[in-house]
Amino acid sequence: MSSVRGKVAVVTGAGSGIGRQLAFELARRGARLAVSDVDEDGLAGTAARARALGAQVHSAGLDVTDRAAVLAHADTVADHFGVVHQVYNNAGVAGGGPVLDSDWADYDRILGVNLFGVLHGTKAFLPHLVASGDGHVVNVSSLNGIMAQASINAYSASKFAVRGFTEALRSELLIAGHPVQVTVVHPGGGRTNIATAALEHSRQRGTVTAEDEARMRMYNEKLLRMPAEQAARIVVDGVEAGKPRVLVGNDAKAVDLLVRLAPRAYPRLVAALQRRAQRA
């Protein structure tokens, strides 16, 4: 077991959802925090609450798709605290559609945040984690980094890529003998605003369909059930236990088992369940 108490922990996407609750959970456990988000109003609320919980907090507006900004942020955080121990690459967006209906802007946006945000955060902070002598990279994938799902192909692609990148990174650090642990997180249906935010993005572009509306209702009413604070506790428990892989929620565990037991059959089963859910 490795306590987060006293560690400097970086959390991206901390303005809402699991990222916000990760900041609060780390604050309760005595970590020092560097929190960031593109939503500076939401981030201000997170920082204020984390300080009220007793944490030292560095807060910065940050777009994780901006490589130069993330690199500068890493140096600023290291200068501010003198050391960085952990990075939680949590920032993410949902959305997209079937391949035939998706445009390049969908792929650029989703892969930019979900994949390149993780690459940027890892590359920027990894030298500081190695220098700390007790580092930890925590990359947030998804249930859809285990099981591909129709109609969100860009999202699934991004989350599978995060999983692959993180597992390759773990092997590299083990071979090199660097003092950095690596954890990939696969959340299931957390009670966050990710589905609603994705729908709002499509609405602003004038591309919302009746199917999009129905899918958002299904996600919010039937799938996104675990409170974000519970998900955050599971993640930090896993980090403190040194787990290389954290499945958050029974749905993520069930999907993991399904894919392992029926790798050829599961796409047909998932397609049938999606059709049924859309008709409900």
H or E element in which residue 73 lies:
helix 67-81
- Centre a 10 Å sphere on the Cβ of residue 86 and count the other Cβ atoms it contains: 28
Query: Cβ of 196: how many Cβ atoms within 10 Å?
Result: 14
Q: Which of 88, 107, 155, 266 is catalytic?
A: 155
For 3-85, list the strands marked E by DSSP: 8-11, 32-37, 57-61
What does the alpha-carbon distance between residue 247 and residue 238 come to, in Å, rounded to a whole number? 9
Token pair 């020092």: residue: 32
Helix axes 104-114, 153-176, angle to 10 degrees: 30
Return the structure tokens found at 208: 């919302």
Calpha distance 115→181 (Å, rounded): 20
User: Does the active-site annotation cover 266?
Assistant: no
Collapsing DSSP to helix, strand or coil, 275 comes out as: helix
| Residue 253 burial (10 A CB sphere; 0-12, 13-18, 19+) | middle
Q: How far apart are CA 215 and CA 261, in angstroms?
A: 27
Q: Which residues are tagged catalytic?
A: 155
